[in-house]
Amino acid sequence: MFGPQVAVGQTQDTGLLLEAFDVQLFRQSSETTVAKLGKHLADLSIRGLNLTEPSVLTRAARALMTREKEHIAGYDEEKLAAIIDLYVSTGIQVHSPGYMGRQFSGTVPLAGVIDFVSSVVNQPSSFYEAGQLPNVVERIMADELNQFIGWDPDRFSMITTSGGSLANLTAILAARNDRLPGFWLEGGAAYRGRALPAIAVGDDVHYSVSRTAGITGIGEHQIVRLPLNRRQQIDTARVAPVLDTAERRGLKVFCLVASAGTTSVGAFDPIDDLAGLAAERGIWLHVDGAHGASLLVSDKLRRRLRGIEKADSLTWDAHKMMFTPAPCTLLFYRDKEKGLNAFKQRASYVFDEDPDVFTALDSGGKTIECTKRPMIMPLWALWAMYGRALFAEKIEYLCALARSAHRMLLAEPDFETAHYPESNILCFRYRPGELSREETHRLQVAVRDRVKHRGNFFISKVDIDGVAALRVVLMNHLITHEHFRMLLTEIRTVGRDVYQRAVKGQG
């Protein structure tokens, strides 16, 4: 038995309470956990998603729960090992070459170690006094990454948020309050009888922006959809006419949201051109670079974001292409003073009346989150230990692999590509014969589902121009050309069966 012995006057429960916090027990449980995770990381087998019925998983999870109702249960190492096994085996296998389905990243293992430290020391980072190092390194990483954005080092700012959706919401709040200064206090009533506030977005924008329109009181009907070109980018030649039409409808577009790496296909909107249009009309330009902003750290790929220095704000997810634990999102503002406009509340229990050198680093007044994980720590530790090249080399490899996979598909007569990959996202369709749009759509959905349930590969799907396409997101540097070829073989195997049974009505 680990932990202190129960002293005179103490109850058995008191002893077990102390045991739960015992340092020696902490070491033992940590060693058990590290051994399990080490085995998990060493498993290079090709595996997708082991999808378990919720009722089955619920029973398995409940079976691991103590039946003790009145007293503290003792530590059970076998139970801990079983909990870890169940956790690891039932999730997406982000470190396997068979995982090609989502933008969640296989993390650099050291990043997980630092995240483990964050959980143990538990230093929320919204205020300097609670998390001193996280707040300092947040400023350090802001300076490091701004080298690739190019803003005035004395005027820009960066804060971390729990996810890209929250960052987009925060940036659009800042834009709304800057361009529509009466909205924060008076709401929509401040603009009654005047042009209605509106947001312009690419037609393939992330759904979080549509949510933001509702949350901020702008309204989804005041979203102006900008048409896309054949590369799934905002078509700059048609933006001005659409904005003119919106103005004639009584809308005042105060923010234009461009994408740097759309979720659907990884497309990059022409930021430079859009920045010029936005500046001419006094519109705030926000770039949702949740996926693709990481290409900035690569000398070879940075040109995808040409003109980013002209944007007003930028969302950048480090938990995607910077390979750190989720969530870790960076929200940049070109003008730090305008970034302060997102929120205006004061609260005596957290905000100091007399700001000083310490409170200058507080971010609690700049984000929705009052209690925020020190999410910057894993990213900073990797940057401090390995430098930029670790990220650049992996990103360059994955983007090159996507282009190579695209060439591979062009040589396969029963496959068609849906776009040219600008990043590490590639969408394509399996078409073994002459099919209508509806048949093509149904076939892709059925193939994706069948591949997922077979458990060898995990891929996703997306609708492009109203027709489903198979979608792979290459997030693992262990994936090779051969793995992608194996995926195509699997798709072809299940696709032929689905085609004959579902489309042709045979069998």
Residues 6 or more apart whose CB falls under 8 angstroms from that of 27 comprise: none
Of the residues 386, 401, 436, the one at which a domain ends: 386
The residue to which tokens 């000398």 are assigned: 299
Domain contains 62: no
CB 125 within 8 A of CB 138: yes
Q: Looking at the structure, do residues 364 and 396 belong to the same domain, yes or no? A: no
CB 333 within 8 A of CB 339: yes
Give me the sheet containing 467-473, strands edge to edge.
Answer: 415-417, 425-430, 467-473, 460-464
Q: Looking at the structure, do residues 193 and 214 belong to the same domain, yes or no? A: yes
Q: What is the DSSP letter of 84?
A: H
Q: Looking at the structure, do residues 211 and 341 belong to the same domain, yes or no? A: yes
User: Between residues 438 and 181, which one has the greater pLDDT?
Assistant: 438
Domain contains 109: no
CB 271 within 8 A of CB 308: yes
Q: Looking at the structure, do residues 146 and 221 belong to the same domain, yes or no? A: yes
Q: Looking at the structure, do residues 374 and 482 belong to the same domain, yes or no? A: no
Q: Looking at the structure, do residues 381 and 393 belong to the same domain, yes or no? A: no
CB 6 within 8 A of CB 14: yes
The vertex-164 CA angle with 130 and 377, nearest 5°, equals 35
Q: Looking at the structure, do residues 368 and 493 belong to the same domain, yes or no? A: no
pTM value? 0.92
User: What Cα–Cα distance (Å) separates residue 80 from each residue in 16, 32, 91, 107?
Assistant: 16, 8, 17, 23
Q: What is the mean pLDDT of residues 432-446?
A: 93
Range name among 210-219, 338-347, 441-450 with the lowest pLDDT average:
338-347
pLDDT tens digits, 152-209: 999 999 999 999 999 999 999 999 999 988 888 778 777 776 888 999 999 888 888 8
Q: Looking at the structure, do residues 361 and 439 belong to the same domain, yes or no? A: no
Q: Looking at the structure, do residues 133 and 228 belong to the same domain, yes or no? A: yes
Q: Looking at the structure, do residues 429 and 396 belong to the same domain, yes or no? A: yes
Domain contains 37: no
Q: What is the mean pLDDT of residues 380-386?
A: 97
Q: What is the DSSP letter of 291?
A: T
Q: What length is written for the chain?
A: 507
CATH number at residue 370: 3.40.640.10
Q: Identify whether 327 is preceded by a cis peptide bond (ω within 30 of 0).
A: yes
Give the pLDDT band of residue 352 (cuts 50, 70, 90): low
In a 13 Å sphere around the CA of 26, the CA atoms on its Cβ side amount to 9
Domain contains 220: yes
Q: Looking at the structure, do residues 444 and 347 belong to the same domain, yes or no? A: no
Q: Rounded to 5 degrees, what are φ and ψ at 46?
A: -85, 115
Q: What is the mean pLDDT of residues 427-442?
A: 94
Range of the domain at 315: 123-386
d(CA 74, CA 12): 10
Q: Looking at the structure, do residues 263 and 250 belong to the same domain, yes or no? A: yes
CB 301 within 8 A of CB 295: yes
d(CA 64, CA 85): 11
Number of domains in the chain: 2
| pLDDT of residue 330 exceeding 80 | yes
